[in-house]
Homo-oligomer: A and B are copies of this chain.
Amino acid sequence: MTADSRDRVDRILDPDSVAIAGASADETKRGYIAMERLVESAYAGEVNPVNPSYEGEILGRTVYPAVSEVPETVDLVYVVTPPDAVADVLADAGRADAAGAVIFSAGFGEAGNEEAERELVRVAEETGIRFIGPNVMGMVNAPADMYLGIDATYAPGEFAVVSQSGNLAMNLGMQSTRARNTGISYLVSIGNEADLTFHELLPHFGADDHTGALLLYAEGMSDGRSFLQAAAEFPDPVVAVRGGRTGAGKSSAASHTASLAGDADVVEAVYDQAGVVTVADFDDTVPVAQALTGLPPLSGRNVAVMTEAGGLATIATDALVEGGLSVPELTEETRSELRELFPYSPNVSNPVDTMVTPRTATLHGDAAEAILSDPNVDGLLICGEYGGYGLTDTDGPDLPADEDTLQAQIDSAERIARLPEEYGKPVVIKSTYTPEESEALATCRDGGIPVYDALRHAPAAFSALAQYGEYLDTADRRTDFVVESDRDPHEAVDRAAGEGRRHLAEYEARDVLADYGVPVAPHRLATAAEEAVAAAAEFEGRVAMKVASPGIQHKTEAGGVSLDVAGEGVRHEYDRLMESARAYDPDATVEGVLVSPMVEEGVEVIVGAVDDAEVGPVMLFGVGGVLVEVLEDVSFGAVPLTEYDARRMIEGIRASEVLAGARGRPGVDREALVDLLLSVSDVVAANPAIAELDLNPVVCHEDGLSVVDASIGLSGSDDGR
């Protein structure tokens, strides 16, 4: 991103002067409503109505016929004209050195008018102006009280919201406002993304003092790879909701990798690599952002639960464990401390049951501190009646509601509010009394502790705190999302791509891989039965034979595979395979038969790569076999992989136990697997023409591994990404 563009984005998001192109004196029109909102608000910048068919004033401001006629320099043009006027407005504004535009007007790409949208992009390229949209809901800079196209009013706060859905942007704005102690810095409906895209806005929010987190909603990005880079450089937490996770359906591509990678999991996985926390449930977005901005991250996954009833303790523990967290034992020392505080408690280990007694409110601070000082504990969830002790007229616990209890609870809260910073460990509260908002709860919120009204937000928050903590700890060992390799593209790949071929033959793929150091099993391409026999003799044992034809991808289906062949059988099988292949596809060029030694049994894994339409080249790893294909237990990582990324991928499958040698079976050579992933990543990084790559199966032994089958698909051109 150029310095000029960066400067323009700053001026678009934080303008000193705004022009409303399409301003109107008709009070029912958007061009009036937008003017009115700005003029009546505390927005301190200039507001200039622009409309060529109107003279005089609107709301006391002189109307200009064009942006170029406004006497001062305009930073931002908010365009609400009919769609066919937009290009001219933009061109005029661009020539007048306006920094940019937010184009509300619709009727472009989203309505099938691609050409009209391309015209806007051409104008921007010619004049240098940048724009958000078209087809946006609006934009808000809350600290500046600048509302464009948005009717609501949001509490100013730390969250910068950027969304492909205007409605969900407003939803997040409203949720941030309803949740206490939070609000928004910016709210940007990004519309059709014809010009400015997600990643170009991030540097502004990163440098902005008001913003403490980025909340985004996306259904797919036009340049996901650049977003990943920008997100990895972003100084604050990024919380994402992905829409359309289930709608895309599977790709019908030929390789296993492409079909396994054909859903949204791949994007979520590489978001994780860039430190972006993806929430599965839209309603968790704001609660998770509250936790990430107000609290230190989790340094592990061990969470303690403090509550005053056994049932709550049980369901809170279930919710945390099902959310991927642990609820560990406390040390003997902590338990003694808690036993002294709560002598009648049925359980002072974790989950800690404080029971409701007249003194519970007083003791909560002591108890929370005892728990957080425990080395086994990374964070604390307080849940139950907390915040309600001493309140009157509520459906509260069976306690005398009184001033002393109320004060004791406030004292406890003041102490608890200081604990996260003091111990570097997060505390989250789920209270039955959020509707009442007691002073104790307000005190905790003021200290950065989120207070939730639903238990389910707690595991989402702790899981996000753990993920973000792990990201911060390991960011320097992760990929930077820049695809580069110090190896050259392979001549065979470039040649095949140049010829417009979509696949390498298997023997070609094997040769390419071997040239980058991938340990493919040895093989010979036999073009006559005699050669096959000779190759088998060379391998001194039983061999696998596969027909070699670039045109036949599904070799088994074509009857083109024979396993465990030896001696005279090799000659016979050579002839049979060639015959089958010709019968299967008379037009296919059959180059011969690939002969390789049979590999001894081991754990079969799949290693692949695919050039994802959204985030570029990614690697895939899984344990092979029909069950994993059906259950889709795979992990992903953006190319180029670092060693750390490779290890995370290997550990990241649900069935990773299998690799360690589950149920008495031998394990795999993990270092060889790491090397394999890194080599394949290098192959993909060095060869932009590779669209998909599939090593399936790779047979892993306790010592070493063998790539038994390899395929490489091409994008058809060497500028395929």
- Nearest-CB distance from A184 to chain B (Å)? 12
Q: Is A558 interfacial (CB-CB < 8 Å)?
A: no
Given contacts A627-B627, A627-B628, A631-B631, contact A165 B314 (CB under 8 A): yes
Pick from B310, B317, B400: contact of A167, CB below 8 A: B310
Query: CB distance A315 to B282 under 8 Å?
Result: yes
Q: How far is the CB of A259 from chain B (nearest CB, A)?
A: 10
Q: Are A664 and B243 in contact (CB under 8 A)?
A: no
Shortest CB distance A136–B (Å): 13
Taken together as a complex, chains A and B put the C-alpha atoms of A104 and B436 apart, in Å, by: 30
A246 to B303, CA, bound (A): 15
Give the contact stretch, choosing among A206-214, A483-491, A650-658: A650-658
Closest residue on chain B to residue A454 by CB atoms: B283
A167 vs chain B, min Cβ distance (A): 3
A167 to B356 alpha-carbon distance, docked (Å): 10
Q: Does A152 lie within 8 Å of B626, measured CB to CB? A: no
Q: How far is the CA of A310 from the CA of B169 in the complex (A)?
A: 12
Select which of B170, B346, B396, B397 is within 8 A of A110 by beta carbon: B346
Which single residue of chain B is at the shortest CB-CB distance from A624?
Answer: B627
| A164 within 8 Å of B (CB atoms) | yes
Q: Indicate if the CB atoms of B629 and A663 lie closer than 8 Å.
A: yes
Bound together, the chains give a CA A33 to CA B456 distance in angstroms of 35
**Residue A498 is within 8 A (CB to CB) of chain B in the complex:** no
In the assembled complex, which residues on chain B have CB atoms less than 8 Å from the CB atom of A282?
A: 315, 319, 455
Taking CB as reference atom, which chain B residue is nearest A178? Answer: B435
Distance in angstroms from A147 CB to nearest chain B CB is 11
B163 pairs with A311, CB closer than 8 A:
yes
Q: Does A322 contact B (CB under 8 A)?
A: yes
Q: CB distance A167 to B311 under 8 Å?
A: yes
Q: How far is the CA of A145 from the CA of B580 in the complex (A)?
A: 83
A662 touches B630 (CB 8 A): yes
Min Cβ gap A25→B in Å is 18
Flag whether A281 is at the interface (Cβ < 8 A): yes
In the complex, which residue of chain B has the Cβ closest to the Cβ of A346?
B110
- A314 close to B219 (CB less than 8 A): yes
> Known contacts A165-B312, A309-B167: does B626 contact A662 (CB below 8 Å)?
yes
Q: Which residue of B lies closest to A655 (CB)?
A: B630
CB–CB B174/A432 < 8 A: yes
Give Cα distance in the complex from A655 to B556, angstroms: 23
Which A residues, 310 to 364, have Cβ-Cβ distances below 8 Å to chain B? 310-312, 314-315, 317-319, 321-322, 346
Find chain B residues with CB under 8 A from A28 CB: 400
A168 — which chain B residues lie within 8 A by C-beta? 309, 311-312, 315
**Given A153-B395, A398-B151, A631-B633, residue A311 in contact with residue B164 (CB < 8 A):** yes
Contact digits for A153-193, partner B, Cβ 8 Å, 1 yes 0 no:
10000000001111110110110010000000000000000
A235 part of interface (Cβ distance < 8 Å): no
| Contacts known (A152-B395, A384-B167); A281 close to B314, Cβ less than 8 A | no
User: How many angstroms between the C-alpha atoms of A91 and B514 in the bound complex?
Assistant: 87
For residue A623, CB closer than 8 A to chain B, the reply is: yes
How far is it, in angstroms, between the C-alpha of A246 and the C-alpha of B396 when the chains are bound?
29
A118 at the B interface (CB under 8 A): no
A557 interface residue (CB < 8 Å to B): yes
Point out the residues of chain B lying under 8 angstroms from A501, CB to CB: none
Q: Is the CB of A281 within 8 A of B165?
A: no
Q: How distant is A282 from chain B, measured CB to nearest CB, in Å?
A: 5
**CB of A668, distance to nearest CB on chain B (Å):** 13
B631 adjacent to A654 (CB under 8 Å): yes
Q: A654: shortest Cβ distance to chain B, in Å?
A: 6
Would you give 21 A-B contacts (Cβ < 8 Å), ordered by A?
A: A168-B311, A168-B312, A170-B395, A171-B432, A174-B432, A219-B311, A243-B314, A246-B322, A247-B314, A247-B317, A281-B456, A283-B456, A556-B664, A626-B663, A626-B665, A627-B627, A627-B633, A627-B655, A629-B663, A630-B655, A631-B654
Give me the 7 closest cross-chain CB pairs, A-B, nearest first: A165-B311, A167-B309, A246-B321, A168-B311, A243-B314, A152-B395, A151-B398
Instruction: Write the residues of chain A forming the contact surface with B, with a CB cutoff of 8 angstroms.
Output: 28, 33, 110, 151-153, 163-168, 170-171, 173-174, 177, 217, 219, 241, 243-247, 280-283, 308-312, 314-315, 317-319, 321-322, 346, 384, 395-398, 400, 432, 454-456, 556-557, 623, 625-631, 633, 654-655, 657-658, 662-665
Known: A246-B321, A630-B658, A631-B654; 20 extra A-B contacts, CB below 8 A, are A110-B346, A165-B312, A166-B309, A167-B311, A168-B309, A171-B311, A171-B312, A245-B322, A246-B322, A280-B322, A281-B319, A281-B455, A281-B456, A454-B454, A557-B664, A627-B628, A627-B631, A629-B663, A630-B655, A631-B655
